[in-house]
């Protein structure tokens, strides 16, 4: 998947429906969090082990759809804010590498 091509498809989808005025960054951040909440709900009563096998259950399509919704809103929000996602992800991974060194964080996911 190439991010900029998807962003263009999503932009055209929104433009065709005149959704620009709904798609403020504030509203898109809300929609993104709402979809992340729907994804979360699919896992809420599962044991860790059950969660690892969710794609072998009848929830699989639902998971794919909710993951796609999260991506779609995150791509749209980045586009509206004119954030270069590739650069943002690269920069954050670099920060994470110095914040969570292999030495300090081996086997330990504690937030720093």
Q: Which of residues 69-108 bind a copy of itself (CB under 8 A)?
A: 69-72, 74, 77-78, 81-83, 85-86, 88-89, 91-93, 95-97, 100, 102, 105-108
- For residues 23 and 14, is the Cβ–Cβ distance under 8 A? yes
User: Is residue 47 at the binding interface for a copy of itself, with CB under 8 A as the rule?
Assistant: yes
Query: Nearest CA to 14 among 84, 76, 85?
Result: 76
Q: Which of residues 25-44 bind a copy of itself (CB under 8 A)?
A: 25-27, 29-44
Minimum distance between the CB of residue 12 and a copy of itself, rounded to whole angstroms? Answer: 10
User: Is residue 57 at the binding interface for a copy of itself, with CB under 8 A as the rule?
Assistant: no
**Could you give the CA distance from residue 43 to residue 50 in angstroms, rounded to a whole number?**
9
């Amino acid at each position: 998947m190439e991010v900029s091509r998807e962003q263009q498809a999503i932009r055209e989808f929104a433009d065709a429906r005149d959704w620009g005025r709904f798609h403020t960054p504030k509203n898109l951040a809300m929609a993104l969090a709402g979809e992340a909440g729907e994804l979360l709900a699919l896992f809420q009563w599962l044991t860790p082990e059950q969660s690892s096998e969710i794609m072998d259950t009848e929830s699989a399509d639902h998971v794919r759809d909710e993951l796609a919704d999260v991506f779609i809103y995150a791509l749209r929000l980045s586009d509206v804010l004119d954030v270069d996602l590739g650069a943002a992800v690269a920069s954050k991974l670099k920060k994470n590498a110095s914040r969570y060194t292999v030495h300090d964080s081996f086997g330990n996911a504690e937030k720093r």
